[in-house]
Amino acid sequence: MSDEKLLVNDLVVLGNACPDIISDQRITVCTVGFSSTYGLIRIYPVPPISHMKRWNCVELPLERNPQDTRPESWKIEGSKSEWDKLASKITLRDKLSKEEQVVLLDELHRKFGQDCVEDLNDKRMSLGMIKPRILDYAFEKRDDYEPSVQTHLGRSTPFLTIKNYPYRPMIQYRCPDCRTMTPHRQQLVEWGVFEWMRNNPEAIDKVWENLRLGEPGYERSFLVGNMALHRNSFMIVSIFRSISNPK
């Protein structure tokens, strides 16, 4: 399995987690996408500046990451030895229209939708879709906050990674057929949310309004994924919403 390689030419990007710094000081992103051939795919590490934007359809060469045994996990071929030119291996093929996005979300729920996050644990799946009943959302202080920020990627301004934010967004919810005694409470790691926090440090709470989490008239779904070192702990990678169909 460790030497398995793929050329994926139909990967639709579904979400990117906020960038992080790995042990060799590279700034990286974890990306999740869907291929009609290979299903849900996690790709890590990914350069922060690339064609890996939500709803883009890309082509890229993948290989197994020997340090991550989750079946959905891959890395871009040559991810360490060719890091400086890795983004050039990601070819933009298309971008989904609004109509195509709705069709794909329906397909994702048919194939990967779960009644409860616990079902993912039972099936040893590390990625899945949930239609939540949202109970609460708030920011909590990070206990691993790193105030020092490095300047990277040719930018004149510092490039923030996830631990450079003093707060983490948390969402409490129930699944459609929840099996846990207490509601799920998970961190939202969607990069766009952190970008709002970076650009609007005095108004971070407005991000909840932007996401329309408490606004009626919308159907919401979560793309959730577990952690490599804590397989039973899940995070919210992306939030999708659509206008509810009138009854």
Where do the H-state alpha helices sit in the chain?
A: 98-112, 117-123, 191-199, 206-211
218 pLDDT exceeds 90? no
Q: Calculate what percentage of the chain has a pLDDT beyond 90.
A: 82
Phi, psi of 87 (to 5 degrees): -60, -30
Q: Nearest to residue 65, comparing CAs of 47, 89, 49, 41? A: 41
Q: Nearest to residue 79, comparing CAs of 96, 95, 97, 65? A: 65
Q: Calculate what percentage of the chain has a pLDDT beyond 70.
A: 95
Q: Does domain 5-95 sit in CATH 3.40.50?
A: no
Write the DSSP string, 149-196: ----TT-SS----GGGSSEEEEEEEE-TT--SSS-EEEEB-BHHHHHH
247 pLDDT exceeds 50? no
Please provide the average confidence, as pLDDT, over all residues in the chain: 92
Q: CA torsion 96→99→105→106, rounded to 10°?
A: -140
Read off the pLDDT band of 5 (50, 70, 90): very high
Average pLDDT over residues 30-56: 97
Which residue spans of the chain are classified as CATH 2.40.50?
5-95
- How far, in Å, CA of 149 to CA of 146, rounded? 8
Instruction: Give the least confident one: 25-34, 49-58, 212-221.
Output: 212-221
* pLDDT tens digits, 75-129: 999 998 999 999 999 999 999 999 999 999 999 999 999 999 999 999 999 999 9
| Higher per-residue pLDDT: 236 or 216 | 236
* pLDDT tens digits, 139-195: 999 999 998 876 655 556 678 999 999 999 999 999 999 999 999 999 999 999 999
